[in-house]
Structure 1
Amino acid sequence: MILEQARSVTPWRWVLRGVGVVVTVACLVAVGRFVWPQPDVGEQPDGTFRQLSFLRGAIHDGADKEAQGLFPEGYVFVNALYGIAWVQAGLNDPAHRGQALRESRWALDRLESGAAKAVFDSRLVPAYGVFWAGWTNWLRGGVVLLDGGADAELVRQFEEGSAGIAAAFTGSTTPFLQAYPGQAWPVDSTVAIASLRLHDHLRGARFGAVVARWLDDVRGRLDPATGLLPHEVSWADGSVADGARATSQTMIHRFLPEIDADFARSQYTAFRQQFLAYPGGFGPGLREYPHGRAGKGDVDSGPLVAGISLSATVVGMGAARVNGDRELARALGSEGELLGLPLTLPGSKRYALGLVPIGDAFIVWSSTARLLTASTPPARDYGIRWWWRIPWLLFIGALAIAPWVRSIFSRSSPSRP
């Protein structure tokens, strides 16, 4: 009987050992990804075009429509980020410029489609609201930049879209236009103003006065608690309805350097001081709410982990790149390779096993981020904790040896007679 019990236990012992081997190997792979050097702020990851390949297939299979079911801007975001990522990648790597032009034009066509406009109100000023108008015009300008203005019809559309946005700001009593009837978020207006700066960069000075007025008005309507642009405002007078939050701040800081370098630098410094965190010694990560303020996650931020917004942390990588924050950009990139569960195949790369393609869109947009209206910003030493990797490595090490702890102790204990 004892012999039969031993035989029945042995197969399970080998199964457990096999699981232990898998866990340990996975941890070793994770460590390799984690410590592998990340690109500088003027470079882009080697896997960029594999990421874009996966995302193209996902959009073809309906990923943008699925994202629309998650939140109202899902369809626009997936296509806009895909197209802009191709613009950035094509500028970073001229060998792919032709493909970048084709793919970004394809994404622009989808942004201008009825499906993209369906949830927005055509009666708003600008038409369909500042969110749709700003992102579409930014991508449109990026395509003009890629093809050097060779497409006269596209240039005309860019001129027309920019003029419509400028007229909307000129006729508004606040610097924050409506994205939906009765609702306004400063981040949307920031994207639209950046598209005007891109216009003047490509087509000659025309909207400088509109941009200057916007900057003056914004400085008078900052969140008094943080000194930063607020998350949400009253559409009627631009007063603060919800203070600064990382979900919108990280995107704002992706575009502010395109508008005004000095204002962007002061805002980014203040943002970093109030939102960068190391919960439990792990990090760096970006809090959804500034230090000293608690809050819950929502459809914008996603679920919060120890106060950290994962979505804002992803977008924060792009903000760090365009602000010259080399160390933070690299650290966030390393954490993404560790926690994002990347799956790399010969022709594609996806995160979270490809289950949430809109997340892949934000990642590739952020990891290729670069300025379109100026050259790469000089690297600045904002500083992060020098030992930030150590807690992660200790945690991964503990996971790697956990399957073998019992075996190690049993071998080291005295044998029974």
Structure 2
Amino acid sequence: MSGTRSTVRRSLRWSRRLVAVVVSLCALVGAIRLIAPATAGPAGEPPGVERQLAFLRSALDGGGGDEAQRMFPEGYFFLHVLYGLSWVETGMREPAGERSEALREARWALERLDSPSGRAPFSADLVPSYGVFYRGWSNWLRGGVLSLQPAAQRDPAELRRFAEDSAALGAAFDASATPYLAAYPGQAWPVDSTVAMASLRLHDSLLPPRFAGTAERWLKGVRERLDPRTGLLPHRADPDTGAPAEVARGTSQSIIQRFLVDIDPEFAEAQYPCFRDRYIVSPLGLGPAVREYPDGEDGPADVDSGPLPLGVSLSATVVTIGAAQVHGDTALAGALANHGELLGLPVGTPWTKRYAFGLLPVGDAFLAWSKTARPWVERTPPAPPATISPWWRVPLLSLLAVLGALPWLPALVRRYRRRRSA
């Protein structure tokens, strides 16, 4: 009997030690993820992104686009367009003669946007057809495909299609009484028109310029219709007048701030600090995150924002990595990316990398697109003054240190008592 009890005690003791080792290793891995560089700036090779793209391609081949479509209205579209754009961004970092894989994958994604499945959620009766969301993002990717090719080797059919689609968008903006075109019948979101306008600026950098006047009128209309509470582009606008219909929100601002740089760098430089001052927070003092609503104001969550713990939108936080990077705000981009490495539960192999165990591929797509961010038309603007303290990691590292040491505390206490009694 005593032998059995001794065996049980030894088993329990080794089990506790095993648990303690596992917990301490997890804390150590978390600390490394919090410290190791997670971004590489507009020119560098983003760590782990190509492995993410390998995971995303396998997810898309396995029906990931259809699964994403069942989760939110543009799921299929977003998963494919972000996959294609991430490959464009990756290809831009490579020598001109080594872009064949990037070009092939970006074209593959574009073909799936230009299909019945890609157009399914959108109305052909809008102006331009299928609405500004569909036409703007597709045109941006189409221009990206052309950007990967030397000017003398660009496909004539692709050039013609890009020129035609740009002309349709330009005509729609010129004929509109508001700078914000409809994405769905009776619904207009300024972020969608921002992407579309950036695609026209991209057109003028690749082909003979023709949309400078369109861009000037658009910017004038935008400045006249800013959200009065924040001074930023509103989240939603009246489709007939363009008047703000909803306060600026993190999910749309994180995308707007990324594209404004390529439309008008000076306007972008004025808008970005307003966004950063009102939406970047440090909940519980544990590192930077992005609020969905301006600091001091709360509102409901929706399919775009996801849950809002402490008012923070995880999707806006991820996309703001890209916005910060194109503005040269490397301190904020790096801090947000390191936060994601710690909390995003990445799982890596030599061939793939996925976050949140790969349960939400569209989240991986947004993260890959954000980490590869760089201006396409303009240069990266001068870096704004840093607002992230170099000591922002200390509270999280302290928490990880306590977590790693805690499982060993009972054994240390017992050893201390034995020594006292001896």
| TM more than 0.5 | yes
SS of alignment partner, residue 148 of structure 2: helix
Query: Where does residue 137 of structure 1 map in the other structure?
Result: 139
Preserved contact between residue 42 and residue 376 of structure 1 (Cα < 8 Å): no
Whichever residue aligns with residue 92 of structure 1, its letter is: R
Deviations 1:99-125 (A, max 9, x none): 000000000000111101011100001
Query: Where does residue 14 of structure 1 map in the other structure?
Result: 14
Alpha-carbon deviation of 1:265? 0.6
TM alignment of 1:26-175, pairs within 5 A: 26-38=26-38, 39-94=40-95, 96-149=98-151, 150-175=154-179
Query: Where does residue 319 of structure 2 map in the other structure?
Result: 315
Alpha-carbon deviation of 1:96? 4.4
Alpha-carbon deviation of 1:220? 0.5
Question: Are residues 1:358 and 2:362 paired?
Answer: yes
Whichever residue aligns with residue 146 of structure 1, its letter is: L
Distance in 1 separating the partners of 2:76 and 2:98: 25
Distance in 1 separating the partners of 2:245 and 2:48: 40
Query: Quick one: percent identity of the two aligned structures?
Result: 51
Query: Where does residue 267 of structure 2 map in the other structure?
Result: 263
TM alignment of 1:246-261, pairs within 5 A: 246-261=250-265
Distance in 2 separating the partners of 1:132 and 1:203: 22
Distance in 2 separating the partners of 1:19 and 1:205: 64
Distance in 1 separating the partners of 2:67 and 2:9: 47
SS of alignment partner, residue 71 of structure 2: coil
SS of alignment partner, residue 24 of structure 1: helix
**Greater than 4 Å deviation, 4+ residue runs:** 414-417
Preserved contact between residue 41 and residue 326 of structure 1 (Cα < 8 Å): no
Query: Where does residue 377 of structure 1 map in the other structure?
Result: 381
SS of alignment partner, residue 353 of structure 2: strand
Deviations 1:162-206 (A, max 9, x none): 000011111111111111111111000000000000000110210
Distance in 2 separating the partners of 1:371 and 1:177: 24
Distance in 2 separating the partners of 1:398 and 1:93: 43
SS of alignment partner, residue 413 of structure 1: helix
Alpha-carbon deviation of 1:377? 3.4
Distance in 1 separating the partners of 2:289 and 2:42: 18
Query: Where does residue 246 of structure 2 map in the other structure?
Result: 242
Aligned residues: 417
| Structure 2 residue ranges without an equivalent (≥5) | none
Q: TM-score, normalised by structure 2?
A: 0.96
Q: TM-score, normalised by structure 1?
A: 0.97
Alpha-carbon deviation of 1:44? 3.0
Alpha-carbon deviation of 1:4? 3.2
SS of alignment partner, residue 291 of structure 1: coil
Moved more, 6-15 or 49-58: 6-15
SS of alignment partner, residue 68 of structure 1: helix
Whichever residue aligns with residue 32 of structure 1, its letter is: I
SS of alignment partner, residue 86 of structure 2: helix
Moved more, 234-243 or 182-191: 234-243
Preserved contact between residue 269 and residue 381 of structure 2 (Cα < 8 Å): no
Alpha-carbon deviation of 1:6? 3.6
